[in-house]
């Protein structure tokens, strides 16, 4: 079961640049929350602050009621880039989690293999990162984040480098895994569809300075099926978020439907 996250007026400045203006929100235990927002609005920064890998300039982050002041370790992180260790084979890249946490080797070797297989990396266990494509590397890094069953998952565009088909498959698999062990998930994505499909709630962020523009609840039954993406309730949410981006000025339609979007109902 996941841990709750509480973010209280957290802000981050790099020198004179305000990467994240004071932001507050709470995430319940075992909730799946997505963050969508234009490039440079502070999504990765926010994840780093929650993981305790970077110190907030102001405000506090608390996980399960405890203030974060050092790197969180009961966590699985998928970084925006795959960050594989070049000198380790694929399986050893996943196994470093078990090694670092001193978990029983045999059991986790078995689990690593299963995860890699589910990610379509069957037969690549002994390959080295330089032998993988970008998408394959990203899948390895997803496996590495999942192998130790963390109660908190921080994923920064984990499916960014994948083709549409693999992306759909990974989405389904992630939902299945989440339904089974219910970690708390914070999922950064550029794909609004992906966010709506996976999340309980979606945080829409606006740029310059980075801040939360809106929080939307996704009230669709689970488990969600791919076909659901055509449903009216699904599309309403997608359109709503896109309309928000249009208003921010980060998305402009050729036919310029901004006026129309502004009149659309907001949940």
Partner 1 sequence: MSETQTLARPSRATEMIRSNARALYPLLSLLLIGLAWQLGVVLFEPAPYLLPSPASVFTVIVAQFETLLYHTGITAFETTLAFLLSIVVAVPLAFAIARYRWCENMVYPLLVMSQAIPKVALAPLVIVWLGFGLGTKVMIGVLVAFFPVVVSTVVGLKSVPQDMVHLGRSMGLSEAEIFRKIYLPASLPSIFGGLKVCITLAVVGAVVGEFVGADRGLGYLILLASGQLQTALMFAALFFLVIIGVVSFALVQWAERALMPWHSSVRQDAA
Ligand X SMILES: Nc1ncnc2c1ncn2[C@@H]1O[C@H](COP(=O)(O)OP(=O)(O)OP(=O)(O)O)[C@@H](O)[C@H]1O
263 binds partner 1 (CB under 8 A): no
Binding to partner 1 in span 113-152, by CB under 8 A? 123-124, 127-131
| CB of residue 112 to partner 1, shortest distance in Å | 14
Stretch that binds ligand X, among 43-51, 91-99, 134-142, 236-244 (CB under 6 A): 43-51
123 binds ligand X (CB under 6 A): no
257 binds ligand X (CB under 6 A): no
Q: How far apart are CA 187 and CA 202, in angstroms?
A: 9
Q: Which residue in 160, 189, 159 sits closest to 172, CA to CA?
A: 159
Q: Which residue in 213, 200, 209, 223 sits closest to 243, CA to CA?
A: 213
Cβ contact 149:108 at 8 Å: no
| CB of residue 154 to partner 1, shortest distance in Å | 9
Q: Which residue in 101, 13, 100, 90 sits closest to 49, CA to CA?
A: 13
14 binds ligand X (CB under 6 A): yes
For residues 194, 199, 203 and 207, what is the CA-based torsion angle, rounded to 10 degrees?
Answer: -20
Choosing among ligand X, partner 1, Mg ion, none, which partner's interface includes residue 127 (Cβ < 5 to 8 Å by kind)? partner 1
Choosing among ligand X, partner 1, Mg ion, none, which partner's interface includes residue 14 (Cβ < 5 to 8 Å by kind)? ligand X
Binding to partner 1 in span 42-81, by CB under 8 A? 48, 51, 53, 71-73, 75, 77, 79-81
| CB of residue 137 to Mg ion, shortest distance in Å | 17
Q: How far apart are CA 49 and CA 71, in angstroms?
A: 9
């Amino acid at each position: 079961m996941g841990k709750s996250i509480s973010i209280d007026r957290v802000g981050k400045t790099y020198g004179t640049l305000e990467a994240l203006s004071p932001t507050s929100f709470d995430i319940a235990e075992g909730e799946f929350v997505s963050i969508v927002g234009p490039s440079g609005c502070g999504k990765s920064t926010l994840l780093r602050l929650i993981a305790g890998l970077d110190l907030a300039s102001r405000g506090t982050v608390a996980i399960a009621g405890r203030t974060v002041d050092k790197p969180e370790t009961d966590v699985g992180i998928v970084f925006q880039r795959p960050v594989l260790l070049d000198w380790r084979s694929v399986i050893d890249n996943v196994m470093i989690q078990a090694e670092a946490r001193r978990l029983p080797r045999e059991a986790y070797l078995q689990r690593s293999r299963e995860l890699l297989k589910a990610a379509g990396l069957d037969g690549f266990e002994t390959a080295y990162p330089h032998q993988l494509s970008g998408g394959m590397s990203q899948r390895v890094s997803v496996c590495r984040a999942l192998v130790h069953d963390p109660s908190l998952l921080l994923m920064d565009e984990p499916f960014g480098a994948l083709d549409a088909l693999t992306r759909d498959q990974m989405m389904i698999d992630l939902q299945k895994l989440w339904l089974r062990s219910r970690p708390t998930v914070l999922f950064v994505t550029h794909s609004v569809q992906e966010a709506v499909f996976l999340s309980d709630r979606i945080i829409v962020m606006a740029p310059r300075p980075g801040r939360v523009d809106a929080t939307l609840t996704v009230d669709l039954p689970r488990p969600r099926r791919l076909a659901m993406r055509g449903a009216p309730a699904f599309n309403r949410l997608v359109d709503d978020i896109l309309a928000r981006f249009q208003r921010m000025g980060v998305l402009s339609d050729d036919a310029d439907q901004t006026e129309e979007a502004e009149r659309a109902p907001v949940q």
